[in-house]
Amino acid sequence: MRSDALVPSRSLSYAVAIALGLAIGLLAYRFVAKPFVWSGGNTLSVVGFALLASAWETRRRYPWVTSTVSRGKMVASVCAAALVASAGAFQLFPTLGFLKLAPRSLPGFDLALPRGDQEVTNLNYAMGRFDVQRLGGITAGILVSWQPGDAVATEDESVLLFGQAIAAGAHSAITVRPFPVTVVVPEAPQARSWTMGIDASKMVLTFLRCGGRTIYFITFADDAGVGRLHQRIAATFHCRPDPASEGTLVDSPVIFDLPSGWTRVKGDPGALRLVSEHGSIVVQTLQETTTPEALVESLPAIPKIRLGQRFGDSWEIETGPPGQSAGLLRILSCPERHLNIMLMWNSSTLESNREVGLESLRSGRCRRADEPPQEWATVQR
């Protein structure tokens, strides 16, 4: 007579097989399908190892549990339970590419985004930013940003935006070039997209036009599902520009103290261009995704742009042969508006007009929220 006095039964044998299968399914999904660093990993790990320990202890105490049912049926039960556990874990904790999306109503457009730790920087109509971090409990996020102007969508522009995202996320500097990738946006067939890898991360960037604004969003993750997630998000884009707000897009957030003789060139509302007999100033407004210093550090990633001599908070820009200056650059930080403003001076006679250029850039300041936009005489070029 058995010392444990437990009568052999098929029910217990199937219970052990099912417990073993559930443990295998949960642990396989946790350590194969999901990243190792995952905030929700403890739940699956604890349950999986508990089931595994229970099955092992039952098998140790009652060796006959593996003999009351045929080996084939035991294996089938283990496999079936493993599949059920993996499917259930996928439904509760989907991988990055299959995260559930929730509709978001943003200023002038809609986009479905996954849930995560949200960080809203600025939700103004003309220019804003909406971040979602720690998607699915892993190192992943999406940055949605918009600003006045036409979508440039060039390789250099993509490098600059990737550089801002990398600086904001404390990643390494850019070491590889981005390359075009196809991302289908049903409501914006002219959208252009780029992708690049940095360290273990992958980033996908899409530019598109909505009314008088450029909207771009960057999805990044240390996970292969980032491309699929980005495509699913892009497919949900819906543009609904507000006519009243569109008329304010030409307002510049910077005020200059310049002498007479300067006029504004009529053109893209996303950029302010001023001209005089001495040269020209181009003002480009950027989201405050990082500090001005980090933004400047990301510029050398663009092969056509090199930083030259520094003059206080301004730099010479070299675009031709080494040592040949093409202009001046200053990054103006406007924390109250959550903006970085790029001021660029260009002149065909920079050597003789360098001091004029530096003084012109330094005369720029952030426009206060209660201050009306600066008015300029407009010329057509």
> Which has the higher per-residue pLDDT, 94 or 161?
94
pLDDT of residue 300: 58
User: How does pLDDT run across 78-137, given as a tens digit for each residue?
Assistant: 999 999 999 999 998 898 899 999 999 999 999 999 988 777 777 888 888 888 888 888
Half-sphere exposure at residue 54, Cβ-oriented, CA atoms within 13 angstroms: 18
Q: Find which of 122-126, 184-188, 222-226, 268-272 is predicted with most confidence, using mean pLDDT.
A: 184-188
Q: Give the pLDDT score at 170.
A: 38
Strand 280-287 and strand 339-346: the pairing is antiparallel
Rounded Cα gap, residues 378 and 381, in angstroms: 10
Banded model confidence at residue 148, pLDDT cuts 50, 70, 90: confident
Q: DSSP secondary-structure letter at 252?
A: -
Provide CB contacts within 8 A for 369, sequence distance 6+.
336, 337
- Return the DSSP state at 324: -
Helices (H) and strands (E) in the chain, counts: 8, 20
| pLDDT over 80 at 73, yes or no | yes
pLDDT tens digits, residue range 307-345?
Answer: 778 888 888 877 655 555 578 888 888 887 777 788 888
What residues have CB less than 8 Å from 327, skipping those under 6 apart?
A: 316, 317, 319, 344, 345, 346, 347, 350, 357
Whether residue 293 has pLDDT greater than 70: no
Q: Starting from the edge strand earliest in sequence, which strands make up the sheet with 109-114, in order?
A: 101-106, 109-114, 238-239
Q: According to the model, what pLDDT value does residue 133 have? A: 85
The tokens for 31 are 């350590």
- Please check whether residue 130 is in contact with residue 123, taking contact to mean a CB–CB distance below 8 angstroms: yes
The answer to whether the CB of 345 falls within 8 A of the CB of 332 is no
At 213-254, the pLDDT tens digits run 888 888 988 777 889 999 999 999 999 999 888 877 767 788
Give every strand in the sheet of 179-181, ordered side by side: 117-123, 128-133, 140-148, 213-221, 201-210, 192-198, 179-181
> Contacts for 351-356 with beta carbons within 8 Å, 24 or more apart?
351/325, 353/278, 353/279, 354/328, 356/278, 356/279
| Closest by Cα among 23, 131, 16, 26 to 73 | 16
Grouping H, G, I as helix, E, B as strand and the rest as coil, residue 330 is strand
Which strand (E) or helix (H) includes residue 78? helix 71-92
Cα distance between residue 39 and residue 81, in whole Å:
25
Q: Rounded to two decimals, what is the model's pTM?
A: 0.70
Contacts of 285 (CB under 8 A, 6+ apart): 127, 147, 148, 252, 253, 254, 270, 339, 340, 341, 342
